[in-house]
Structure 1
Amino acid sequence: GNNDPEALAAAANPKSAGPTNAVIKTVNGMNQRRLGGSDIIVSDLGLGTQRWVSDDFNAPDEKNCYDFLDLAILKHGVNLLDTAEQYPIPSGGAKAKEGDSERLIGKWLNDRKGSVKRE
């Protein structure tokens, strides 16, 4: 049989954009691959934001979060962020409100205009 990844992907899903296991590109040493059968390309590693700026005693503050984003995205080619509208967890306390991690990421993107290509 044919072991060509593109042929196998096309046979399994005729609308597939291509194989999901093939490295499409490498950015600053980070391999990036197709997400499922889509044409969306994501890094092998993602950056989670669940506890960012939360009421947890050991949650990273805004400066730490900016450092994480700078390191992961600008230096190491990560383009996959895990966030949700209810982050940070725990929230609802003295300082953390739902959506704060997304607001922080938006602020970081705005502050880094020209440095980050939005895909």
Structure 2
Amino acid sequence: MQYRELGNTNLKVSQITLGTMTWGEQNTEAEAHAQIDMALAHGVNLIDAAEMYPVPPRPETQGLTENYLGTWLKNSGKRDQVLIATKATGPARKPHNPRHIRGGVNNFDRKGLTEALNGSLERLQTDYVDLYQLHWPDRSVNCFGHLNYTHLPEEDTVPIEETLTILADFIQSGKVRHIGISNETPWG
């Protein structure tokens, strides 16, 4: 396995990451654990999850992916051998977005992000995540198959400076080592 430095962090991540978005929908807990064991045996050290997984997002399965990873972490005792990335669900502006997570008010303000992070840490059964990401920006963007951006002039968003301050506080507290964003535009 080859490894690369993740951005400008001190994390050396495997070129292949274990994605987990089907755990709890298409894969059982036992299958998830077997996938982790196989990935580690082949040198994979980064596991990517999200509070909204599995997909498709449904209230009945929400959080199972992190739960499965959490039981593996607890039972294996190998937390120090893996890097965990997870993501906070963003605002539910479009009809397909998960409105069942945190009551559908998923802005990246202090209340929302604190609730998201603490929920993820509880499901993951760990005290920290190595990479905490915003699953998508706190503004409308083309993602998840949607084309033709439509500007919403009255869109209620949290200023990125506020969100970054909150994320910096998470790092300062030791609950997060590094931050990032997923499903962002090149402009963003």
Which interval holds the TM-score relative to the shorter structure? 0.5 to 0.7
Match of 2:34 in 1: 67
1:45 aligns with 2:12: no
**Equivalent pairs, count:** 83
RMSD: 1.9
Task: For 1:80, give the aligned amino acid.
Answer: L
1:88 aligns with 2:54: yes
Match of 2:74 in 1: 110
TM-score (norm 2): 0.40
Structure having the larger proportion of residues in helix: 2
Change (3 A) 1:116 1:67: farther
Distance, in Å, in 2 between the alignment partners of 1:100 and 1:35 is 27
Q: Is the 8 A contact 1:109 1:116 kept in 2?
A: no
Gaps of 5+ in 2: 84-188
Structure possessing the higher radius of gyration over alpha carbons? 1
Gaps of 5+ in 1: 1-29
1:35 aligns with 2:6: yes
Change (3 A) 1:86 1:115: closer
Change (3 A) 1:66 1:51: same
Change (3 A) 1:72 1:50: same
TM-score (norm 1): 0.62
Task: For 1:62, give the aligned amino acid.
Answer: E
